[in-house]
Structure 1
Amino acid sequence: QQQQRQYEQQLLQQQQYEKELLLQQRRQQYHQQQQPNVHIVAIVAAVIVVVDIVAVVIIVVDIVAVVIVVGKAALVVFVVATVV
């Protein structure tokens, strides 16, 4: 009876130990899987920032183009007004 109990106790401890090991392995795998995702997120964020900067540059170029067109129109109006 005593030996049977000891044996059961050992079995239980062994199972518990194996469960712990499995859990640790799963955690490690999970963390290993998570890390590349962090890099991907960082890369995507960097790409978004670059795209934003490009968009701002395009807007500035557009504004400059509009200013040039308005300037030319003003110049034409001024020249026409001066001649007439």
Structure 2
Amino acid sequence: MLKIIYMAKLKEQLAIAEETIEWTGGTCDDLIQLLRSRNELWHTTLAPENVYKLAINKSIVHQNTYIPENAEVALLPPVTGG
């Protein structure tokens, strides 16, 4: 299993705050591809040109990291500020 938390704008766009999915392990890219395959909204929202970060067990990752079973993943949209 994998717990996914959608933060800020992603939570609003996808109309979901969090979910638990079946997961036997894989990479960040594997997870994003799985989520994109749901429908056009998911594909567009999580498109490669959109910049967002993933945090695995509360640590932000900067590359295609392995996500083990029973992890918690947060999808973080870009944050702007001045």
Higher RCO by CA contacts (8 Å cutoff, separation 6 or greater): 2
Instruction: Give the number of the structure whose residues are more often strand, by fraction.
Output: 2
* TM-score after normalising by structure 2: 0.17
Larger Rg: 1
Instruction: Give the number of the structure whose residues are more often helix, by fraction.
Output: 1
* TM-score after normalising by structure 1: 0.16
